[in-house]
Amino acid sequence: MPEGKTLIMKFGGTSVGSVDALVKATQIIRDAKKDWDRVVVVTSAMSGVTNLLLDSAASAAQGTVDSLAETESMLREKHFSAADALIKDEDLREKTKTEIEVYIKSLVNLCKAIAVLGEASPRAMDAVASLGERMSLRLLGAIVHDSGVRSKAIESSEFIITNDHFQNAHPDFNVTTEKTRGLLNPIMDDGFIPITSGFIGATPEGVITTLGRGGSDYSAAIIASVLPANEVWIWTDVNGVMTSDPRIVKEARTLPEISYGEIAELAYYGAKVLHPKTIRPVVEAGIELRICNTFNPSHPGTRLKANGSNGKTNGRVIKAVTAIRNQRLVTIEGRGMLGVPGVAARAFGAVASTGTSVPLITQASSEQSICFAVPSESAKQVLDALEKNFALELSVRDIDRVWATEEVAIITAVGSGTRNTPGVAGKIFSKLGNKEINVLAIAHGSSDVSISMVVETIDTEFAVRALHELIV
């Protein structure tokens, strides 16, 4: 392992999404270099760019390319205006704009090809989606270099090597380790900061892939784990992980510390924090991770640690409350299910055949009913699949019915002590009961760090506020 402390910093879309943000990001990079021997910077696409790219590809797949000229103009304006404002060296500025123009033209050509074919393959969608990060890399790299910081831009596709599962590729960690160390260590040994693109990798043959949801964070975690690094800092537009959504709970505050298990539950249950996939490489490598605010860099943010402070913050077992809306609760019920093996397996096999994710499951101890949550938009497809799968049982009344509620929400209280601390569940349900909030289903025990409840949609915000009172 090379000598000296190594820091990986990832900047999200809002953190590189404007002239002001890019100025702040550049200063953060400059300051980090003073305190850390070795720094790697990972950049996302500028905010809004990836959605613009994917919308263009989706329209092209429908045979529509009329909006391409407008998309070209928007991409040029967003990137070129930042280049004009922040890159003083005229030659470097024009070189950067020329490089970005190549990617814009590549989008146009890809979309025209998609329109001719009438479909966008996963491989084509990855080629389109990658362009945002590739443009952002050229822009940020040039801005940082122009500011006097010794840096070098390098695409992550040169060293993050993946399989060919396009749109959700998985890294080959052995090859990635070898290539990452071989490319990035010499750059840092020479005193430069490597600036690289998040979200994208490449197959062994060099075909561009993307890493799926949370891909830029995941890129930072991969790089950190294989170098290895001492810490990862994720720069975003909030002061870290909050106790709840501040739009619902005005008293919500930043958590100074949280465990990996807790943040994985928060991410799974709707909080806009790190995707669980992001966390795994840094957990396994024992690397500390910090979430910081680009627009308030002096704030300490939230530190993620392998084990939090015994699951408690100021003596409180519950650390955060979150909600997933737009769910429906599907129930399979019937006295004929009692003692019959394989009902659950068949039920979830049918759900899986629709490609639907199930965030919550509960079953009566009598085995006469199973219920689980699914996204509202998938409910009809799931019900159709279940009715087809259990057609015989429904016809002979072994299963009485398969049905779904109206829209509901899943409320989750997260904290490392929720399983082993006596009275936590009692306090939670007393709070909800006092507010006259009815709980339709409960999931507790499958996770060490959370209790989940299903409530009617109308009660969502009341439930979140009620449970947040157990924190403050």
Residues pairing with 11 in the sheet: 43, 235
Same domain, 232 and 330: no
Q: Please, which pLDDT band fits residue 256 given cuts at 50, 70 and 90? A: very high
Cα separation of 432 and 441, whole Å? 13
For 129-155, the DSSP string reads HHHHHHHHHHHHHHHHHHTT--EEEE-
The residue assigned the tokens 């890809």 is 110
The amino acid present at 250, given as its one-letter code, is K
| pLDDT score of 353 more than 70 | yes
Tokens of 270: 């709707």
CATH of residue 209: 3.40.1160.10
CB-count burial class (<10 Å; 0-12, 13-18, 19+) for 329? buried
Same domain, 34 and 147: yes
Cα separation of 261 and 311, whole Å? 10
The domain boundary residue, chosen from 237, 254, 288: 237
CATH of residue 329: 3.30.2130.10
- What was the pLDDT predicted at 175? 98
- What was the pLDDT predicted at 247? 86
Cα separation of 425 and 89, whole Å? 62
- What was the pLDDT predicted at 417? 64
Cα separation of 298 and 321, whole Å? 26
The mean pLDDT value for 92-98 works out to: 98
Cα separation of 105 and 315, whole Å? 57
The domain boundary residue, chosen from 191, 211, 237: 237
For 391-431, the DSSP string reads HHHHHTTSS-EEEEEEEEEEEEEE-TTTTTSTTHHHHHHHH
Residues pairing with 161 in the sheet: 202
The mean pLDDT value for 199-222 works out to: 94
- What was the pLDDT predicted at 111? 96
Name, of 72-76, 301-305, 424-428, 438-442, the range with top average pLDDT: 72-76
Q: Please, which pLDDT band fits residue 456 given cuts at 50, 70 and 90? A: very high
Residues 123-151: pLDDT tens digits?
999 999 999 999 999 999 999 999 999 99
Same domain, 210 and 340: no
Sign of CA dihedral 102, 107, 108, 109: positive
Q: What percent of the chain has pLDDT over 90?
A: 71
Tell me, what DSSP letter sits at residue 63? T
Residues 73-91: pLDDT tens digits?
999 999 999 999 999 999 9
- What was the pLDDT predicted at 246? 87
Alpha helices in 316-471 (DSSP H): 343-353, 379-389, 391-395, 424-434, 460-468
| pLDDT score of 190 more than 50 | yes
Same domain, 217 and 358: no
The amino acid present at 135, given as its one-letter code, is M
In this structure, is residue 44 part of a structural domain? yes
Residues 263-279: pLDDT tens digits?
878 876 666 677 767 77
Q: Please, which pLDDT band fits residue 311 given cuts at 50, 70 and 90? A: very low
Cα separation of 44 and 139, whole Å? 11
Q: Please, which pLDDT band fits residue 10 given cuts at 50, 70 and 90? A: very high
- What was the pLDDT predicted at 159? 98
Residues pairing with 459 in the sheet: none
* Residue 180: partners with Cβ closer than 8 Å, 6 or more residues away: 159, 160, 222, 223, 226, 227
Cα separation of 321 and 323, whole Å? 7
Same domain, 356 and 229: no
Q: What is the mean pLDDT of the chain?
A: 90
Residues 292-304: pLDDT tens digits?
999 999 999 999 8
Answer whether 285's CB lies under 8 Å from 428's CB: no
Question: Which pTM value belongs to this model?
Answer: 0.85
In this structure, is residue 354 part of a structural domain? yes
In this structure, is residue 298 part of a structural domain? no
CB atoms inside a 10 Å sphere around CB 251 = 12
- What was the pLDDT predicted at 338? 73
In this structure, is residue 292 part of a structural domain? no
Secondary structure of residue 20 in the 3-state scheme: helix
Supply the range of the domain harboring residue 38.
Answer: 6-237
- What was the pLDDT predicted at 305? 78
E strand map for 119-272: 151-154, 193-197, 200-202, 208-210, 231-236, 257-259
Q: In Å, what is the CA distance from 166 to each residue of 127, 142, 361, 437, 452?
A: 9, 29, 30, 44, 33
Instruction: State the total domains in the chain.
Output: 2
Which of 262, 241, 258, 308 is CA-nearest to residue 447? 262
Same domain, 441 and 331: yes
The mean pLDDT value for 294-318 works out to: 74
Cα separation of 242 and 89, whole Å? 41
Same domain, 103 and 225: yes
Which of 124, 134, 135 is CA-nearest to residue 60? 124
In this structure, is residue 302 part of a structural domain? no
Give phi and psi for 194, each to the nearest 5.
Answer: -70, 130
Cα separation of 250 and 264, whole Å? 24
Cα separation of 57 and 52, whole Å? 9
The residue assigned the tokens 């006259």 is 436
Residues 355-406: pLDDT tens digits?
998 989 987 665 688 999 999 999 999 999 999 999 988 998 888 999 999 9
| pLDDT score of 339 more than 80 | no
Task: Give yes or no for a cis peptide into 256 (omega within 30° of 0).
Answer: no
Residues pairing with 235 in the sheet: 11, 292
Cα separation of 303 and 7, whole Å? 14
Q: Please, which pLDDT band fits residue 310 given cuts at 50, 70 and 90? A: very low
When mean pLDDT is compared across 16-20, 437-441, 443-447, the lowest value belongs to 443-447
In this structure, is residue 278 part of a structural domain? no
Cα separation of 372 and 360, whole Å? 5
Answer whether 411's CB lies under 8 Å from 323's CB: yes
Answer whether 449's CB lies under 8 Å from 262's CB: yes
Q: What percent of the chain has pLDDT over 70?
A: 92
* Residue 366: partners with Cβ closer than 8 Å, 6 or more residues away: 338
Same domain, 30 and 142: yes
In this structure, is residue 289 part of a structural domain? no
In this structure, is residue 172 part of a structural domain? yes
Same domain, 232 and 355: no
